[in-house]
Every structure is written in C-alpha cells, then in structure tokens.
Structure 1
Amino acid sequence: MSNEEETKAVGAGTWLRRVPLVGQIAIGLVLGVVLALAWPEGAKSVSLLGKVFVSALKAVAPVLVFILVAAAIASHKRGQETRIRPVLVLYLLGTFGAALVGVAMSYLFPTALVLSVPAAQGTPPQAIGEVLTNLLMSAVANPVTAIMEANYIGILTWGVCLGLALRRAAIASQQMLLDLADAVSSIVQWVIRLAPLGIFGLVAGTLAESGFSALLGYGRLLLVLVGSMLLVALVLNPLIVWLATRRNPFPLVFACLRESGVTAFFTRSSAANIPVNLALAKRLDLDEDTYSVSIPLGATINMAGAAITISVMALAAAHTMNVQVHFVTALLLSIVATLAAAGTSGVAGGSLLLIPMATSLLGLPADVGMQVVAIGFVIGVVQDSCETALNSSTDVLFTAAALAPPAPAPLVPADYHDA
C-alpha cells in the first residue's frame, strides 16, 4: 500500500470513529435494507452478524448484572439514598397507563381478525396467580442456573444477597469486586461497539427471510398496536416525566429512544438490551447504586409495550367474536395486562403467550386465544420490535426521571453526548 493509500485509509477510519454510534447504526440499517433488496441470498448470509451480536449481548448481560448489583450494594455507604421506590412507582404507573391507552385505542379503532390460522403451540399461564408464582420461584432459583438461563429476577435476588453479605468484608475485597465490575463493563463496551455490524446483519437477514408481504393482511391491527405504542412513547411517557420532574421531558425522551430504543427495536430482547441501557445510564451520570438495580429489574417488570399488546389483541379477539366488553371489564383487563406484563420474559415474543389468559377473562375459548397468539407471531417482525423498543427505552427514561437533579437543572446533563 502506497503512502497516499495508507493516508486515505487512516482518514476513513478517523472519520468513522468521529461518527456517533447511533449514526453508525443508521448507516448499518440503510446498508442492510439495500443489501436485502439488491441481493436477498447474500443478505441471508450476513444475518450471522446479527445473530452473533445478539448472542454476545445475551451472554455478557447476566454476568454484568450480577457483578454490578453485588458491587454496588457491597460498596454502598450507610445512609446513602438509592431511590429505587420512585422508579418502581413510575414503572407501575407507566405500564398501567399503557394498558389503558391500548384499551382506548381498541375502542376508537375496533379491529376484526381472521381466525382461520392454526393455533400456536405453547402452554400459556391460566391466571395471574400463576404468573406471580413463577416470578417468586424465579427469585429463589439456583444462582448458577439463573445466570445460565438469564433469569434476571433470580440474578437480582442473589446479587443483592451477595452484596449485602460483602458489606462487612474487607475494603480490599470490595475493591476487587468493583474492579471486576469495571472489567466486565469494558467488555460490554466492546460488544456494543459492534452494534452497527449487528444491526446490519439483523436488518438484512430479517428483510430477506420474512419481508413484509405477510403483514399486509393485518395492517389495521398493526396500526392500532404501533399507534398505541407511539402515543405512549411520545405523549404519555413525557407527561409522566413532566409530572415527576416539572421540566421539559423531550430531550431525555428522545435520547432514550435514540440510543436505547433503536438497538432494542432490532434485537427484540429487553434482556439483550440491558448492557446498552446500563451504558446509557452511566453517560447520563445517574446514580450507579440505583440504575444497576433498576435497569435489569425494569427489563423484567417494566413492560408498557407488552401491556399494550395484551390488551389490544385480546380486545381485537373479542370484537371478532362479537363479545361486548363493558367499561368495568376493560378496566379489569388493564389491571390484568399490567400484572401479566410484569411476568413477561425479556425475550422476543415473550408477551404473546399471555394473551390467552386475557381472552379467557373476556369469556373467549382457549383455542381463540391461541389463534391470536399465532397471529402475533406473524406480525412479530414489527409488533415485537416496537414493543421491545418502548419497553427498554422506558427503563432508562423512568430511572433518569426518578433520579433527576434539583430544578432548574436539565434532565440531560450538559456534558452528555451520544455514544
């Protein structure tokens, strides 16, 4: 390579490093669409990049959460406020509000489904009690199994217990745990830097294999679902943040959607997006003792998008079967959707198997509920992507709102910058 060619290569590399990560992801997205349209077979091959990226995130996230939670609690100083309770209140309020939005949109735009598809396979929970029991059993699962299976309720439980036990340990032991947390965080940063390649592979592979032809028959249902999620993301959530902070919420809302929502949209996994959210919380200069717990907890219980999916699709089934749903029943459905969404696993399609429980509340047969689940998997390319983007970005949004500095300081620090 000549000196001139070498200079050009270095210049190109320098230019690329100057582009924020979000900009690099946008470039990867566009290239993925172009490749899928121009060369579908080649696009299927590069989908491996996306699979590797998502697998790497899922692999590092459980270890990161366990060590980060244990280190934060072990080094926590007595009398120092963590403010977890306000975050949990915002999580609950946001999820219930999202369920109400889904119900309202279903009344405004009633949708009929074609229930001739084969019923989906799976065993949905039969009642809220079963969902809550599963959550309790997850909390006391074997810690090694919890890390292996990415059971974040169990990981949080054992991380908190280990952190509490190590609060009496020697300073050197606590520092070693902090150093280990920093090391794992560095590995996470390396993985996140691969996001442009991962998004490129995910977009190209998804478009080449699935396309959008199968979605046209469910266009109205998708419009109601996606419209409800946009309404929550751009109206309800900013309103909640404004009520909690009395400051302009939109810089924070857009930062969370841009940096957390985009990656969550393509990974379709709240669990896989935990490292992205932790890195964003750190750049927002939030309290580590709080966000190290609230972010992974939010990936399990803060499920506004799932609450919308459950309520909208259950009411669509009721409309299809000509079942009249009264206001009190719809309110009860919103409560059930809120509680059921908290038991949704943080993986792709995790909310769909909870739909039969909601349809049974409306008096519909179990087979109807499972057919709606099958429809959910058909439209999952869009529905689950939007749902996960809303779920995951809201974890950081509500954590930042609960930890907001005193007024009139802005919600987004002056020295904040995109990744």
Structure 2
Amino acid sequence: MADRVSRPSLWRRYLDFPLIWKLAVGLVAGAAVGLIVGEPAAALQPLGDVFLRLLQMLVMPLVLVTLIAGVSAITPARLGGIGLKVLVFYLVTSALAITVGLVLALAVSPGAGLAAPGQSGEEPEPAPPVGETLLGIIPENPFAALAEGNVLAVMFAAIAAGIALAFMRSSSDERIRGLGELLRRGVDAGVELVFLIVRGVLQYAPIGVFALIAAVMAETGVEALLPLAKLTGVVYGGVAVQIGVYVGLLALFRVGLRRFFGAARDPMVMAFATRSSSGTLPVSTRAARRMGVDEGVYSFTLPLGATVNMDGTAIYVGAATVFVANVAGVELTLAQLLMVVLVGVLASIGTAGVPGAGLIMLSLAVSQAGLPFAPVALVAGIDAILDMVRTMCNVTGDLSATRIIAGTERGMVHEPDEDGPAESEPGAGADSAEPPAAPAGGHRQQPS
C-alpha cells in the first residue's frame, strides 16, 4: 500500500523526464509520422503553431524585463565593455560564417545542371535598407514598438531604462536611491514571473515539436530533397564547420565543453525544431543560467544575438547565392562575392530571428549581386529543412558568445543556480575551477 501511495503519478513522471529526451522523441516521432502518413499529417500544423505562438508571446516580455534587470545590475562602464565585445564577436563570426558558406558552395557547385523554374511564385519580403534599419532602432513610441514586436527598438528602450535605473540605484540622493531599489524589485518580480511561464510552456514543447516536424516532412518528403542534395549538404557541412569554430573558441578561453554543451543541447534541439532564434530565447536564457552566466551578461547578449547574430543564416545565404548563380548560369566575380559577404553581415541586423527570415537575407544578397531572382523559388522549396540547422547554429553562436564574454568579465560567471543542475564534471576545464561569485548588483535568480 505504501508503495502505491509513494509511486509518482504519470504527470509527475512526465515532468521529471529530461526535456532533451522529450524533444528527441517528438522529433523522431514527428519525422516518422510525416513520412509514413504523408500529406494528411500536415493537419497537425495547428498544434505546432500553438507552440510557436506561445514562444513568441514570451519574446517581448522576456527581452524587456531581462534587459532592464541585466543592465541595471552592472555599472555603465562594464556595460560598455560587454557591449563592445559582443558586437565585435557577432560581426566577426557572421563574416566568417558567410565566407565558409561561399567557399564550400564554390567547391561543391550546388545547383549546377538544374533549370530555373518558369515562375518564381511569391517573392520573399525584401529586407529593409540598412539606413532605415539603423534609424528604426530608436523608437518614436516605445509602446508601439512593443506592440509591433520591433525587437531592436524594444531593446534600445529597455537598455535606456536599465541605464537610468542603474544611475538611480547608485544616486547619492537617498529618495532616488530608494525609488530605484523599489523599481528594481518590481523588475526582478517580472523576471521571475516570465520564467515561471517559460517552465509551463516547455512542458508543451514535445507536442509542438512533434507537430512541426510532421508537417514539414509531410509537405517536403524525401523526394523533394534529392534535386537539392548538394545545397543541403553544403549548408549542413558549413554549420558543422562553424560549430567547430565555436568549440575552438570555447577551448581557447578555457570553457568546459561538457558543461557548455550539457546546458546548450536543449536550446540547440529547440532551435532545430522551431526554426526560430527569437522563439528559442526563453530556452537559451535558461541554458545560460545553467552555465552559471550572470544575468548582467546573458540578458544583454542573448536578446541581441537573437536579432543580429545570424551565423547559420549567413552560411545559408552564401551557399544559396552560389546555388542561384549556378542555376542561372552566372559566374560570380570577386566583387560580387565581397558584396555578398558585406550585404549578408549587414542584413543580419535587420532580419528577425523567426522562421523563414533567411529568405529575406537571401533575396537581398541575390539582388545586390545582380543575379536573377527566379531560382530563389527552388531554394524556398526546401527552406524549412535548411532553416532548422541554420537556426541551431545561430543559437549555438549566441550561447558561445555569452559564455566566452562572461568569462572575460570579473564576477560574471558563478556556480549556477538549480535551474536544471549542471552535471558534475571533474576536470572539465575552467568551469569546474571557477569559484562562486555573486552577480553584480547583488541580484541572483531564484531556482527555477
């Protein structure tokens, strides 16, 4: 009788089952159902759309409260140092990524022998001009930017509010300092509220992943990949090379690889399934906490990375541009290749981290290189398959930058809170040797 009473319920066992395995089961089952059942499996798409909507629902509140909390927790001088480092990291790795895509594609020549489709279909939405994107970072109305989902504008407003709150908390005026501490407690409560919702949404994740994968496989099928196998191989190979670059950088900065990938595997799988860097942001934030990264770093680097760091997408743009040129029978010049690199890096600033954003970047690169647009329709046919791996690369790059930059800042890496315990790793590298350190500003997230 005692055994029967103490036995956990089915729901409790589901909650205790590791998220990574639940997502893996959803991936495999969804792929199997999509391939076996075929077109009728596309009816599962609404279940996946529910999951994407839940994730997107969290993006704006998460960006707003975590950025204000993170920026107000550190001094403006330290914020300036972190900001410069993360921007340099993102721009350099994006330029490297698009170069990797171009070099691999030029070596393999994907698309050679294929004919351009007679009709290009509906063209992807063009990327906004760089000048317009930069001007749009400063919102005319921050509340309108929040309602419209303008991530960069919301980030600007949140950073401004966080800096002002940091000055309030360090003010010599006791009244202003007290009001600053009161506001900070409200922001901390908002952070905890959002993370509580995140934990609830993650319990639906396996169902959403199952539905999304089943719908994608039902629409494309194996046959749709065969004519474009070279392009698919180049993009996946380029992502493998780029992740190897991250591993090298992590090792160079003496970051424990087992601990890093032990925490990063959940957002990597989530990004692969959802094809949304912004949608994966709640899971990426949770992973950064498991790595022991202080919120003063991850609350700035992760939202920024989800918007401007598109390494996987840059690989895709480089490879797909060569593919389009081969299909059109055009030989790219060195000047055109350099333009593709420049446009790809700059366009990543203005494209959102959502499914299909890569087509916006690709359309801009193809137009700037002076190539015909019709072959883009061939790439669009397998965009979902390519989008999975490039989004995973984007998120991995965000987390790599976050952990590396945190390690270069004093007190920004500490023993992680139990938001999913990090495995004990004797001799795992610098992670295992770092002493616990309280986050700047004295704030520490409660266990999730």
TM-score (norm 2): 0.81
Match of 2:365 in 1: 358
Deviations 1:237-276 (A, max 9, x none): 2223334x1x266436634652211101111111111111
Q: 1:322 to 1:118 in 2, by over 3 A?
A: closer
In 2, Cα distance between the equivalents of 1:153 and 1:325? 33
In 2, Cα distance between the equivalents of 1:252 and 1:114? 47
Match of 2:248 in 1: 239
**Residue of structure 2 aligned with 1:386, choices 384, 389, 394:** 389
In 1, Cα distance between the equivalents of 2:238 and 2:221? 23
**Residue of structure 2 aligned with 1:223, choices 221, 225, 233:** 233
Match of 2:84 in 1: 85
In 2, Cα distance between the equivalents of 1:357 and 1:372? 14
| Deviation of 1:150 (Å) | 2.2
Contact in 1 for aligned 2:98/2:315 (Cα 8 Å): yes
In 1, Cα distance between the equivalents of 2:240 and 2:158? 35
Contact in 2 for aligned 1:44/1:208 (Cα 8 Å): yes
In 2, Cα distance between the equivalents of 1:41 and 1:209? 6
Q: 1:214 to 1:135 in 2, by over 3 A?
A: farther
In 2, Cα distance between the equivalents of 1:318 and 1:35? 36
In 2, Cα distance between the equivalents of 1:79 and 1:17? 42
In 1, Cα distance between the equivalents of 2:332 and 2:430? 41
In 2, Cα distance between the equivalents of 1:306 and 1:291? 22
Deviations 1:202-241 (A, max 9, x none): 22232234433322221112111221122212x2222233
| Deviation of 1:12 (Å) | 4.6
Consecutive unaligned residues in structure 1, runs of 5 or more? none
Q: 1:254 to 1:12 in 2, by over 3 A?
A: same
Match of 1:56 in 2: 54
Deviations 1:69-111 (A, max 9, x none): 1222334356656623222221112111101101110221112
Consecutive unaligned residues in structure 2, runs of 5 or more? 169-175, 414-426, 435-447
Match of 1:65 in 2: 63
Q: Alpha carbon RMSD of aligned pairs, Å?
A: 3.1
The one-letter code sitting in structure 1 at the alignment partner of 2:67 is V
SS at 1:83 equivalent: helix
Q: 1:115 to 1:7 in 2, by over 3 A?
A: farther
Contact in 2 for aligned 1:120/1:373 (Cα 8 Å): no
Match of 2:116 in 1: 115
**Residue of structure 1 aligned with 2:186, choices 164, 176, 184:** 176
Contact in 2 for aligned 1:238/1:249 (Cα 8 Å): no
Contact in 1 for aligned 2:124/2:359 (Cα 8 Å): no
In 1, Cα distance between the equivalents of 2:188 and 2:264? 30
Q: 1:359 to 1:200 in 2, by over 3 A?
A: closer
| Deviation of 1:315 (Å) | 1.7
**Residue of structure 1 aligned with 2:406, choices 394, 403, 406:** 403
SS at 1:10 equivalent: coil
In 2, Cα distance between the equivalents of 1:293 and 1:309? 26
The one-letter code sitting in structure 1 at the alignment partner of 2:103 is A
Deviations 1:92-150 (A, max 9, x none): 12111101101110221112243114224347558x8x134224214325322322232
Q: Which piece of structure 1 moves more, 145-154 or 317-326?
A: 317-326
The one-letter code sitting in structure 1 at the alignment partner of 2:429 is P
TM-score (norm 1): 0.86
Deviations 1:261-317 (A, max 9, x none): 110111111111111111111111112012101101101110011211221111222
SS at 2:221 equivalent: coil
Q: 1:70 to 1:309 in 2, by over 3 A?
A: same
